[in-house]
Structure 1
């Protein structure tokens, strides 16, 4: 059974009700060329994506990821994706990989070939990198200026700040800058002094018995893993809030985490070169939940 699967998808209109959804996508050799030279996803990053964690044969939170894909499509003025088609493609891919282990499944919807008649879509799943060290021992983080304030998305919707686009050059540059500073990851700060998110993750802070995360806005993506973890914590009786988080609260937090679909929960042990409290027990409990099946 392969540990890498790639599907090319012929995107259906959102309201199409195809009798045989499996006929709308096909598996291709993951090592063979699959995109045309004129593809706008590679030329301009003109497209959107989602990354779904797959744990022991179960794709985590498929519907929340697809709903965020649909929201990104609306912001970017791409055709609305047919969620049933994507669900069928995801199910097919998961059936083709081993039923044990962790995998990363990426969905991509682009504007297609320049001057072309239709968007391009594909799915790729491969074995996930080992994240045990980050989960167990925590990560060092630096703060970086994102270059705009919290209201930028409202003033300038053409920046596409609320969409998960393929234009990730800035996010990758932030991770390289973090590495240059001797850290593992970064937290973006708004120019008016508020905590935003990580380049590929959501921020969670604990103050006493309250867990807080920066409120999702046009400038901050709604984190599917963060939402799932907050639902779990609330069910256990914890207080969870989404609110504006000022920069100085980072240093006052009792504990802090970056959470994402594949790495899951990584406790922060160091912020801008200064040690901060690391709750190994809570982190272990978070990941025990996040590694379980979640819909």
Structure 2
């Protein structure tokens, strides 16, 4: 068992484990010089192999959007299993799978790897919740349909804008961000999906608005449906967020965090519901 991060390089023939402390990436790789590539984050709880179909579906959608080869599901599943087996037992592994366009001037072979390491402990923030500001993403909600080259809804490596948004949130004394469209709709967080409750209705923005399809969001819908709530994808006006009965930001590793403050306004928080939702998301039998 390894106490260090476990790194595997992946190609069309399979995967091989390498030393994570040695150099493996060319400085002329398109992923480094242009952020030209895709990735997925996978949460592994207590060493159990999670359900991967939704992750692979999203990874393939991202690959299609960037004209990259479709990942071989069998090879990547085997690589993940190798990483889980090689890593020392921990409560939760954060696994990142990456594929770039490859090295400039070389053949058309992509560069790909899988990195597994202990996840950050988000227990505190799941209990305390977050303060959030809304920030204009700079696109209308129909931009993805008319301008697919913007790669809205693809999980690609160019995260500079997301990182800049989080820095802006910090400058405004907030923890996180909900992006909005220029036509006034709420979209998603820089690294999370948006889930809101209005009475007995649970809603999330639809992917047609140019957001990333949320795998954890889908699992969250299953939780609320099991509690008798109605769920739907819909256009959520950013101006109406402050009127919601609850707001959560959900993602695979951090899970669900409640929004306790929105643009300086206190928001209602259901601590018991949030705790139950996180127990559901943490059940590896349901995790996607």
Please say whether Structure 1 and Structure 2 have the same fold, judged by a TM-score greater than 0.5: yes
Alignment of 1:80-119 (within 5 A): 80-117=70-107, 118-119=109-110
| Contact kept in structure 2, 1:48 and 1:164, CA below 8 Å | yes
Matched, 1:253 2:244: yes
Distance 2:16 2:134 in 1: 43
More deviation, 194-203/29-38? 29-38
Alignment of 1:142-161 (within 5 A): 142-161=133-152
Distance 2:279 2:88 in 1: 21
| Contact kept in structure 2, 1:52 and 1:59, CA below 8 Å | no
- For the aligned residue pairs, the C-alpha RMSD in angstroms reads 1.2
| Contact kept in structure 1, 2:195 and 2:250, CA below 8 Å | yes
| Contact kept in structure 2, 1:258 and 1:268, CA below 8 Å | yes
Distance 1:146 1:61 in 2: 32
Cα deviation 1:139-186 (Å, max 9, x = unaligned): 111110000001111111111112100000000111111111111110
Deviation at 1:110, TM superposition (A): 0.7
Secondary structure at 1:241 match in 2: strand
Deviation at 1:200, TM superposition (A): 0.2
Distance 2:96 2:155 in 1: 12
Distance 2:156 2:182 in 1: 22
Cα deviation 1:189-210 (Å, max 9, x = unaligned): 0000000000000000000111
Q: 1:37 aligns with which of 24, 27, 31?
A: 27
| Contact kept in structure 1, 2:90 and 2:118, CA below 8 Å | no
Distance 1:192 1:154 in 2: 15
Secondary structure at 1:217 match in 2: helix
Q: Which residue of 2 aligns with 1:165?
A: 156
Note the residue ranges of structure 1 that are not aligned, 5 or more in a row: 13-23
Matched, 1:271 2:257: no
Note the residue ranges of structure 2 that are not aligned, 5 or more in a row: none
Deviation at 1:228, TM superposition (A): 1.0
| Contact kept in structure 2, 1:11 and 1:120, CA below 8 Å | no
Secondary structure at 2:134 match in 1: strand
Deviation at 1:38, TM superposition (A): 1.4
Matched, 1:229 2:230: no
Deviation at 1:97, TM superposition (A): 1.7
Matched, 1:49 2:49: no
Q: Which residue of 2 aligns with 1:5?
A: 6
**Aligned residue pair count:** 284
Secondary structure at 2:125 match in 1: helix
Cα deviation 1:48-103 (Å, max 9, x = unaligned): 00001111112444221111000100111001111111111111111112333112
Runs of 4+ with >3 A deviation: none
| Contact kept in structure 1, 2:39 and 2:156, CA below 8 Å | yes
Matched, 1:26 2:27: no
Secondary structure at 2:93 match in 1: strand
Secondary structure at 2:208 match in 1: coil
More deviation, 54-63/271-280? 54-63
Deviation at 1:218, TM superposition (A): 5.8
| Contact kept in structure 2, 1:54 and 1:103, CA below 8 Å | yes
Distance 1:58 1:197 in 2: 29
More deviation, 162-171/209-218? 209-218
The 1:179/1:241 distance shift into structure 2, 3 A limit, reads same
